[in-house]
Every structure is written in structure tokens, then in C-alpha cells.
Amino acid sequence: MIWRAAAGLARLLPPEAAHRAAVETLRRRIGPSPDLDDMPVEVAGLSFHNPLGLAAGFDKDAACPDGALRLGFGHVELGTITPLAQPGNPRPRVFRLPQDRAVINRYGFNSNGMEQAAARLAARRGTTSRHPGIVGINVGANKTSDMPTDDYRTAVARLVPYADYITLNISSPNTPGLRDLQAGDNLRRTIAAGRDGMAEAGFMCPLFVKIAPDLEDGDIDTICATALDEGIDGLIATNTTIARPETLRSPHAAESGGLSGAPLFERATHVLAAIARRLPADGPALVGVGGVASGWQAYAKILVGASLVQLYSGLALEGPDLPGRVVSELAVLLKADGHESIAVARGSIPDAGEAIQHALRLAQSA
């Protein structure tokens, strides 16, 4: 209750100020710390306490991984971190769409760069007060880079010593040209750059690729074939969308940038299902992101094939007790379906529409 009230107060601030305040609050480890039963998931050789993670974009500068994990997440994905510090786009660049339970952002990878993040993560490593949980690091290219793939290699080489997994973000709509890296040979080259970065640093860890929701079937075919060919450990689906569904009612609906939150849920879940259909069960792990703000939505993503689920906008709109609520609700739904683990439930309803209906009905009757 108190955290809902705090979230309500934060909504009185402009969205970017509220975001900064939330990061600072979590840096001080202020927030709910729910006592959750473990819901273990093994992905790419990593053991997650539960399948829910904080999606990239909240903690772009590795300021508060422990404060975020304390909220009940099994993992946090830091970033997107670029090699060099850069200011991002002019303000305002993030907008709440309250009537639509959505956010539009065009931050444009504002970041203090990899050196500051590496220093913070090195300092964290030296402390005993780390909160248990998996820390992934999401990397991207600087806006002014002539050779974006070099930026991925550089950022991975610098940050991999501190990462449980690395994500190559090639799907932000706010860096011109970035999403072209999802196509054919570009994707292959970007993955190779990530691997080169690991080799250069002498540290190996699982490599994930994060993709956009605005993809044609042919693009999804290519991405899946390349992911399999290259032995990618995971695909994260999806980033924000440049689409603007006609249902949007909020005054800021026409702002440019990436849309996230409730209006993305179905689209992102369909893309996730389309990917799952094209990959063998022992292929790259799938991480479902987009519009999750309840246990049934997380469950729907697992039913179509996700091993892990992430959220961001729900946290911004509903407040810091959301992660604990989602994990608890998810446990109830798993049990109601008689599934002993996430691994058993994963992929058991491959059709996105059916999975969404099933999860929603189950939640309504639970």
C-alpha cells in the first residue's frame, strides 16, 4: 500500500525526473523486499531464482542492480551501455500514456558510458552486500559511431568480466540505423563482434540478442536461422514498438519513439510465439518482454515458449511492489495448471492467442 502511494507521488513528477528518483531510491536500497518462494529456472547454464527480470533501460548506468533485485526480480538487465558517454536525445524524451497504461520513450541511449559502469560493477564485486540474483549487461552502439559493430565488441570486452550474460541490443528504435543490424549478414557480424569482445577480454558468458516487435515473418525467419547457426544462447523479444495502435487515447500517443506497456503485450507475445515455433526446444532460450504487468501476462509468455520474462513499463506505472506481485501470481497459476516448474509449462500452448486466453481465464478463476 505504502509503495503504491509512493508510486502515486512519483507520478506527480515529470517522467524523466520520476525515473531518476526511482533509480536513486533503489540505489539506496529503499523499496519493498518481498519474501518470495523460489521458482527456479535454468537458462544457458545460469540459475535464476525466478523467471522475472527487470528489462533494460531502467538502470542504464549500473547504478542500482542490488536495489532492483531486492524488489523480487530474479535478474536485472543493466544498460543499454554504450562505449562512450553520450547525452541522448533532447528533452522531453519520455512520456506517460496513463489512459493506455503505456510509455513512449526516445531517450536515445543516454548513458555515462562503459567506463563508469565498469568502475561501479568492479566496486560492487568487492562488497559483501550484493543481493543474490543474475545481472545481465545490455550493450549498444554510440549514435556517432562509424562502425557500430566495433562498438559492440568494445563494450562487450570492457563489461563482460562483470556480466552473468550479455545482451546485444540491436532493436532500439531511437538510434538511427541500429535496427538494420537485425538483418542477415549484419546480425552475423554483430554476433561475431560480441564474441570477439569476449575473446579479447578472456571471459566467456551467455550471449543474448534483443529484437524488435516490428518485424515481418521473413525477418523472423532470418533471425531464428542465424541465432541457431551462430549458437546464440538467448533471444529477447521484444523491445519497444514504433507502431501506434489505433486504440491509443492518451494525448502523447503521437510522440515519436518506442511504445511500451499494455498496448505492446499482444504484439510482443505473438512475435515471441512466432520465434518459438521456428526454434527447437533445446535451441536458444527465449525471454518474453512487452506489456507484462501481472502474473497471467508473464504466464502467457511462458506458455508460448519463454523461459524468462522481463518488464519495465509496469514498474514505472504501477510502482515497486509489482515484481513481487507478478512472481506470486505466477506461482499460483503454475500450480493451478499442475505444472511443477517453469520448464514444464514452457511452450505448452504454442499459439499466442490461445495462451493469452488460457492464462487470463485461469487468473480470473484462481
Ligand X SMILES: Cc1cc2nc3c(=O)[nH]c(=O)nc-3n(C[C@H](O)[C@H](O)[C@H](O)COP(=O)(O)O)c2cc1C
Minimum distance from residue 210 beta carbon to ligand X (Å): 5
Contacts to ligand X from residues 91-130, by CB under 6 A: 94, 103, 105, 107
> Out of 80, 142, 175, 307, which residue is the one contacting ligand X (CB under 6 A)?
80
- Cβ atoms of 294 and 144 within 8 Å: the answer is no
Looking at residue 232, the DSSP 8-state letter turns out to be -
Helix (H, G, I), strand (E, B) or coil at 102: strand
Q: What is the DSSP letter of 179?
A: G
Determine which one of 111, 145, 171, 172 is catalytic: 172
| Per-residue x/- track, 166-185, ligand X (CB under 6 A) | ---x--x-------------
Select from 38-46, 145-153, 154-162, 312-320 the region that touches ligand X (CB under 6 A): 312-320
Does 60 sit near ligand X (CB under 6 A)? yes
Contact 185, 144 (CB under 8 A): no
* Spatial CA neighbour of 56 closest among 210, 262, 257: 210
What letter represents residue 276's amino acid? A
Nearer to ligand X, 249 or 335 (CB): 249
Nearer Cβ to ligand X (21/199): 21
- CB-based contact 222:249 (threshold 8 Å): no
d(CA 232, CA 6): 40
DSSP codes, 310-347: EESHHHHHH-TTHHHHHHHHHHHHHHHTT-SSHHHHTT
Q: Does 83 bind ligand X (CB under 6 A)?
A: no
Q: For the chain, first and last CA: distance in Å? A: 22
Contact string (CB under 6 A) for ligand X, positions 191-210, x = contact? -------------------x
Cell of 104: 513512449
C-beta of 178 vs 334, nearer to ligand X: 178
Using rule CB under 6 A, residue 88 touches ligand X: no
| List of residues contacting ligand X (CB under 6 A) | 55-57, 60, 79-80, 94, 103, 105, 107, 138, 169, 172, 210, 239-240, 260-261, 264, 289-292, 311-314
Question: Which residues are annotated as catalytic?
Answer: 172
